[in-house]
Structures are given as C-alpha cells and as structure tokens.
Amino acid sequence: MNLGEISDTLVWGAATAYTIAMVAFATDLAHATDAVGQRKAKERASTAESGGSPESPGGSVAVLDAPRSSKALGIAMSTMWAGFAIHLVAVVLRGLAAGHVPWANMYEFWLTGTFVAAGLFLVLQLWRDVRFLGVIVSFIVVTFLMIAINGLHVEADGLQPALQDYWLVIHVGVAVAATGVFTVAFAMSALQLLRDSRDNGSTLLHGQGTVVRGRNVAAWKVMNWRFLDTIPTPVALEAMSFRINAVGFVLWTFTIIGGAIWADGAWGRPWGWDPKEVWSFVVWVVYAAYLHARTTRGWSGRRAAYFVLVGYGCVIFNFTAVNILFSGLHSYSGVKRPTI
C-alpha cells in the first residue's frame, strides 16, 4: 500500500469519525431541546399561577447562555478532533504521494477545503460556544468528503507543466481557505433563516401540522424543529456570519489578485474571461454586494442571509460545474468532462 492509498483509507476514517461526531452533536442538541421544553413548561406554570399572560408561540428560551456539558457533547468534540487529526494526516500523505501541495485537482481541493471547514469550526469552538453548528458542519464535511472520494478521486500524480509554479501554493491555497470559511458562514446563515422563520410563527417549524394537497397533516408527521430554540437568535447568528464572510471575502479578493498575477506571467495577460475567471469574479461580486448592502444600505435579517446562500451556491458551482462542464485554461480538475 503506497502513500496515496493510505491517504484514501484515512479519508474514510476521517469521514467515519465526523459521522460519529454528527450523531453525538445531534444527541446533545436533543438533550438541550428537552431542557428548553422543561424550562418553558415551568415558566408557563409559573405564569399561570401568577395570573400573567402565557408565552407567545414564537418565543423561545435560550439555554446556550451558560456553559453546558454532557456526555454526548464530550463524545462529539472528541471524535470531531479525532476526525480532524486523521483528516490532517490524509491531507499530508496525499501531498507527499503526489509530490506537491494537495490542491491541484478537484479531489484534492475538496479534501483540503473540508479540512479547513472542520478546522475553522473547531477553532471557533475554542473561542466561543458554537456547538450548535456541529451537526450541520459535520454533515457538510462528510457529504463533500464522500462526493470527493467516490466521484472526484484521481490517483496521486505529478503536476501538469502549467501548474508547476509557486503560485499554485498561494493562489489555490488561499482559494481553498476561502471556501472553507464560506462553508461555515453558510451554515450559520442557513440556521439563521430557520430560526427566524420559527420565531415569526412558521407552522411547519413549530411542528403544529400543515396542509399538504388539501389534507391536514398531523403534528407528529411534521419534522419537529424545537432544536431551533437552543441556538442563538437570528441577530446573533447574522453578526457571526457577517464577520466570517468578511474574512472569506478578503481571502477571495487575494485569490483573484493572485490568479491575475499568475495568469499574466503564464499566459501574458492578467484577465481573459475564461469560465473559471468569470465565475470567480461572480463570486466576488455577490459577496461584495452582500457586504456593501449589509454595512451601508441597512440590509439585514433574511435578505442578508439569502445573499450568503446565493454566494455559497456560486462558490460550489465555481468549483464543481465550471470545472466539469466548461472547457478553458483552468481545466485541471482531473475529472473527465462528460461529452454532450
């Protein structure tokens, strides 16, 4: 078994650890949800005894204000760190097997990008309590790793002549980091939209039943979204997402600048409207518009979150469909494009 094969095996090991972490995070979230329910019941009982008005349907009690520990949370964080460590070794061995930095094709890009996303979540957790992101971040990381290893995998090999440049380390490395940052910000904005919908009386997100094709669906048949009561408010989530996206935007700006410098040296022009260049610019414009609207035009709440979702969709499209479906000077995905 060579280094490349060992790296592939470790990717499966990392995905397994992340999956266990995801289940443990979900279990911890369920415990927190039960705690919210119990506190709400006590508050309603106390309000009824005092003759006050009952709690509004959209209200919620946050339990993340004070530190909380549980066996499930301990397992989740331990296995998340274990998966991250295994992931790190897989990335390093892939680079050693290929003889270059491990982000020269689509498989290596997603292998490293998911590593950055998982690492950013763990670093944020050291800084402040963001365990509510554990389920969605671990789910995204596992999903992208499985897509990479099953659909995008190529054998570790040397670089094409056009990529044998130190700008590969800088330009693509920064792009990988930016994508990992955008992934965590996307998770926060997605939760922000769900929490905002629940707080504003969404019937579906309150698990109170809904009407489907003219028939009333009982509450037990509708997904119970009570876990949203355990996460920060939409305002707090938006503030965190904004800060993370700002970092991602700076990294993406350096990505485009570095790419232009590299293109000028390699092809004699800094910009040529290649499909990858165009979509990289589209990503930059979307996030620039988001930051501008958020800071100067007063766009906040759901509109800002939708901007983030659109921006992340453009990022994913840029590193998947553009690489596979379009021919251009950046066609280094390593994956054979389908014939039409």
Q: Which residue has the higher pLDDT, 294 or 266?
A: 294
- Mean pLDDT is lowest, of 174-183, 189-198, 210-219, 226-235, for 210-219
DSSP reduced 3-state for 337: coil
Give 332's pLDDT tier (boundaries 50, 70, 90). Answer: low
- Residue whose C-alpha is closest to residue 319's, from 144, 149, 170: 144
The per-residue pLDDT for 317 is 93
pLDDT in tens, 7-38: 999 999 999 999 999 999 999 888 877 766 66
Residues pairing with 211 in the sheet: 216
Helix (H) or strand (E) holding 211: strand 210-212
Mean pLDDT of all residues in 53-65: 45
DSSP reduced 3-state for 152: helix
pLDDT in tens, 90-138: 999 999 999 889 988 889 999 999 999 999 999 999 988 899 999 999 9
How much of the chain exceeds pLDDT 90, in percent? 49
pLDDT in tens, 151-160: 888 898 877 7
Q: Which residue has the higher pLDDT, 210 or 128?
A: 128
- Residue whose C-alpha is closest to residue 104's, from 149, 162, 145: 162
Alpha helix positions (H), the chain:
3-50, 71-98, 106-127, 134-147, 167, 173-199, 234-267, 275-296, 302-319, 321-325
Mean pLDDT of all residues in 313-317: 94
pLDDT in tens, 251-265: 999 999 999 998 888
CB 245 within 8 Å of CB 252:
no
At residue 128, what is the residue type? R
pLDDT in tens, 233-242: 999 999 999 9
* Range ranked top by mean pLDDT from 55-64, 67-76, 249-258, 259-268: 249-258
The per-residue pLDDT for 330 is 59
- Per the prediction, the chain carries an average pLDDT of 82
Q: What is the pTM of this model?
A: 0.83
- Residue with structure tokens 């929490």? 195
- Residue with structure tokens 């009561």? 229
